[in-house]
Structure 1
Amino acid sequence: MENHRGKGLSFARRIYLPRAIGLGVGFFSVGAALYPLGLPSWIWALLLFNGFAWPHLAYQISTRAAFPYQAERRNLLYDSMCGGFWAACFQFNPLTTVTILSMMTMNNVAAGGHRLFVFGALAQLAGVLSGWAIFGFKFNLTMTQTQVWACLPMLTLYPLALGMVCYQLAIKLSQHKRALSALSRTDSLTGLLNHGAWKDLLHLKFQQCRQHNTAATLALIDIDHFKGINDSYGHIVGDAALRQLSKALKHVLDEYELAGRYGGDEFCVILPSLPLNKAEAVMEQLREALQRYRHPDVPELRVSLSIGLARYQNVYKDALDWLDDADKALYTAKHKGRNTISVALSRPVTQDAGA
């Protein structure tokens, strides 16, 4: 419910400025059309309230309501009903009628699409019928120069205000879209790329290495006896070890080296433009950093890493061949007793690969 209320408050804030500008400027358009008709003074008091007090009252009503979104939609229908009422009061002066009702219709469409457009049109009709019930069924098709000039601010300022609100909304939607895209590619526990996102980058990096014949090294990293850590100390301590590995990865890698959580306690890194010996030195820094890690609540815990490295080779048919070599090197590191780094052997150049 709090989430819905937050969205409703945001909606009310977006409507507030266009309504304040539109009704404030609209006061002069309606007033110019009403002035020649000699209507009673209570109409002018109502117009003053509608033009300058109602925008602020409507905002207070919607923001204090239990369901701000629904309250604001009702306020928009009140706006539409008032627009129809004023059109009947000034006897459907052509330019003022088109200006007022079209601006309100545009606001309804921008705020609620087809559904609010229909309900807004019905509210305008209800306002027209109310005006006719009070002042009779009348039309005045003449326009004065003053009325034309009074409509110009409404035709310029209000669309500008509404356009700015729509632009700001588009910017926010774009930001949310980028944030959601980042979340869909990120592992929530470690903040690194998730399995799918990292695999996509692996395929991309493989194609870049093949096209430009550049060096790159692939590393697969596994926390030794991670299941035992979870079983002995609990998953909270295990998660802390995973986050520590992520933190150490971010520390030893630069922005061009791409790390991800491959799954469980296995991590993966693409080290572009690094020869094998330098990549091995970076991974050694990582291994030593994890050996120094001490959990504050479990000081006896020791964390070690097994790491498999595979440099890019032209003989690979695809990225999965490269990944398979790194995985075999990781298995070798585990087989040798863990807490070590193993490097995949170079594959022999076949006749097809050398052609």
Structure 2
Amino acid sequence: MPTVTREPAQEALQNHLGFARRSYYSRMVGLALGFVMIAAVLVQIAAPAWMWLGPALHCFVGPHVAWWLARRSPNPREAERCNLLVDHFLGGVWMVLMQFNLLPSVLAVSLLSMDSMAGGGVRLVVRGLVLQALGVALGVAFLGLHLQLDATRWTLLACLPLLVCQPILISLIARRAIHRLKQQSRALEHQSQHDGLSGLYNRSHWELLVRAEFARFRRQNQPAVLVMADLDHFKRINDLYGHAAGDQAISRFAAALQRVLRETDVCGRYGGEEFGLLLSMTSASDAREVLDRLRRNLHDQPLLDGVLVTASFGVAELTADVPTVEAWLRLADQMLYRAKHRGRDCVVALGEDTPSQPGALLPVPTRPSYSTPAALGDPLRVTQLLAGLEISEAPFALFDPSDRLAVANKAFLQMFAVPPDAMSFADVVRHSYTHRVGPRIATDDIEAWLRAADGKRRSQPQRNFLVDMCDGRWFQVFETSYSDGWLMLLLFETQPAAVPASAAVLG
């Protein structure tokens, strides 16, 4: 069944009309009981028949006229406030008609003021009392001033239904209004925290929960895993099958997440076709098993009828080495980019060399390496390698997945004029940019430049480019990313060939 949506103006009109409708029912009951009170006083003072006509029309015809006027008004709420002011004015006239009988007059003032307070606040009450005074003045001018303050027993009994029922009725209407406001508040809170298409948490609220989990880890040191997921070739889906199919894929993927994950796991739509998953009390290996099951589920139950839509996953387990929430998010994001680079439809976890592949049917071939794991496990070989890098004239640096500087030889430290307190690639670049040493960085916004360089590094795990130095030298830069970080190697070029204009900027 299609969902009917209303424009904001129509929604506001319906809300205002609802206020007028509730006042209509309250007015019918209140004025009917008020007529009983007025009639008792008119009987007490032996009023002539013509004096009954005005109160009868006001109490039995007036509510229907007021409701008709509110429905025809472009602003029903304001029309209903005008109706309340009319009630005040006529109430003042009927006080004169009742010769200011004490109990009925006090009830006319207090109960009409109660209605106005509920409908418009203090300002409407003040305006109503002023109009009620004008009604009294007009009544005295036409009917004269007659005082009959004492009330008979029958007049007192006639006032009791209004005295008891009207406050209860107003309280019931106020209670319903408060209940509706609470429902609207909960709906607005849900909308502010959830994505409308997927039903998952939106990015801002999801990141708040990630920060809370990070703080909990700092206090209790309990495991947690962050996963970034992305639907593969999503633009192609939109181009071939339309945006409605893309929306359906997102909605069904969100449902698949909720089916596979635990209730304690937190899912959010990070943006577009990208999703974030927070798995508390979970290790990276356990998360891989869950994500592999989800990935197989996407093959068995396609998100689109007759169309296979796969997903890639990047996994980062929270450890004491992760300094900030932002670094944790970046680690998961980097793993997602590596999953994309390795062919998509797989899971890549931080610190693991072999990603999961579709159906886990075929092993992933590994490229031959000049160093075997056994060789690198030999302390002598590692010492020889580090010694060779240290004396090498080619600047070399190794960074971990959170871009912290892990290893750098003397040539690199001198070229970039790395200060002792530099902890990350960003620290190195900011220092070089500020002091105009090392590579020439042509930009007016170093932070935007760092974000752009990070994006290129994640999208191109292996790349090389030219960079010129502030001292006029040129270097060929080689960057290579792998599961546990990335390295930078610079080779000197005396006469670079055909240098493009963009090569003057590092990265």
TM-score by length of structure 2 reads: 0.62
Q: Which of the numbers 92, 104, 113 marks the counterpart of 2:121?
A: 113
Query: Tell me, what secondary structure is at the counterpart of 1:316?
Result: coil
In the alignment, the residues of structure 1 paired with residue 115 and residue 303 of structure 2 have an alpha-carbon distance, to the nearest angstrom, of 60
Does 2:297 correspond to 1:325? Answer: no
Does 2:26 correspond to 1:18? Answer: yes
Query: Tell me, what secondary structure is at the counterpart of 1:338?
Result: coil
Structure 2 matches for 1:299-338, cutoff 5 A?
A: 299=306, 301-338=307-344
In the alignment, the residues of structure 1 paired with residue 77 and residue 158 of structure 2 have an alpha-carbon distance, to the nearest angstrom, of 33
Q: Kindly provide the amino acid, as one letter, of the partner of residue 309 in structure 1.
A: V
In structure 2, the partner of 1:203 is: 211
In structure 1, the partner of 2:232 is: 224
Does 2:343 correspond to 1:343? Answer: no
In the alignment, the residues of structure 2 paired with residue 10 and residue 85 of structure 1 have an alpha-carbon distance, to the nearest angstrom, of 29
* C-alpha contact 1:17 1:161 (8 A) present in aligned 2: no
Q: What's the offset of the Cα at 1:41?
A: 0.9
In structure 1, the partner of 2:136 is: 128
Q: Which runs of 5+ in 1 are unaligned?
A: 349-355
In the alignment, the residues of structure 2 paired with residue 16 and residue 319 of structure 1 have an alpha-carbon distance, to the nearest angstrom, of 56
In structure 2, the partner of 1:215 is: 223
* C-alpha contact 1:287 1:339 (8 A) present in aligned 2: yes
1:271-305 Cα distance to aligned partner (Å, 9 max, x none): 12233333212211222233342634xx4x43221
In structure 2, the partner of 1:352 is: none
Q: What's the offset of the Cα at 1:165?
A: 0.8
In the alignment, the residues of structure 2 paired with residue 315 and residue 7 of structure 1 have an alpha-carbon distance, to the nearest angstrom, of 54
In the alignment, the residues of structure 2 paired with residue 336 and residue 5 of structure 1 have an alpha-carbon distance, to the nearest angstrom, of 55
Q: Kindly provide the amino acid, as one letter, of the partner of residue 117 in structure 1.
A: V
RMSD, aligned α-carbons: 2.6
In the alignment, the residues of structure 1 paired with residue 61 and residue 82 of structure 2 have an alpha-carbon distance, to the nearest angstrom, of 17
Q: Which of the numbers 144, 153, 160 marks the counterpart of 2:161?
A: 153
Does 2:146 correspond to 1:138? Answer: yes
In structure 1, the partner of 2:304 is: 295
Q: Which runs of 5+ in 2 are unaligned?
A: 1-8, 353-399, 402-507
**Greater length-normalized contact order (CA 8 Å, ≥ 6 residues apart):** 1
1:47-66 Cα distance to aligned partner (Å, 9 max, x none): 33433443345335534656
In structure 1, the partner of 2:88 is: 80
Query: Tell me, what secondary structure is at the counterpart of 2:121?
Result: helix
In the alignment, the residues of structure 2 paired with residue 64 and residue 176 of structure 1 have an alpha-carbon distance, to the nearest angstrom, of 26
Name whichever structure is richer in helix by fraction: 1
Q: What's the offset of the Cα at 1:179?
A: 0.4
Kindly tell me the number of residue pairs found equivalent between the two proteins.
345
Q: What's the offset of the Cα at 1:73?
A: 2.7
In structure 1, the partner of 2:289 is: 281
Q: Kindly provide the amino acid, as one letter, of the partner of residue 295 in structure 1.
A: L
* C-alpha contact 2:35 2:55 (8 A) present in aligned 1: yes
In the alignment, the residues of structure 2 paired with residue 325 and residue 66 of structure 1 have an alpha-carbon distance, to the nearest angstrom, of 56
Identity percentage over the alignment?
37
Larger radius of gyration: 2
Q: What's the offset of the Cα at 1:326?
A: 1.4
1:169-211 Cα distance to aligned partner (Å, 9 max, x none): 0111011011001101111221211110100011112222332
Q: What's the offset of the Cα at 1:127?
A: 2.4
* C-alpha contact 1:187 1:194 (8 A) present in aligned 2: yes
Does 2:196 correspond to 1:188? Answer: yes
Query: Tell me, what secondary structure is at the counterpart of 1:220?
Result: strand
In the alignment, the residues of structure 1 paired with residue 16 and residue 97 of structure 2 have an alpha-carbon distance, to the nearest angstrom, of 33
Query: Tell me, what secondary structure is at the counterpart of 1:219?
Result: strand
In the alignment, the residues of structure 1 paired with residue 71 and residue 212 of structure 2 have an alpha-carbon distance, to the nearest angstrom, of 49
Does 2:186 correspond to 1:178? Answer: yes
1:145-187 Cα distance to aligned partner (Å, 9 max, x none): 4434433333332111111111110111011011001101111
* C-alpha contact 1:215 1:275 (8 A) present in aligned 2: yes
Does 2:176 correspond to 1:168? Answer: yes
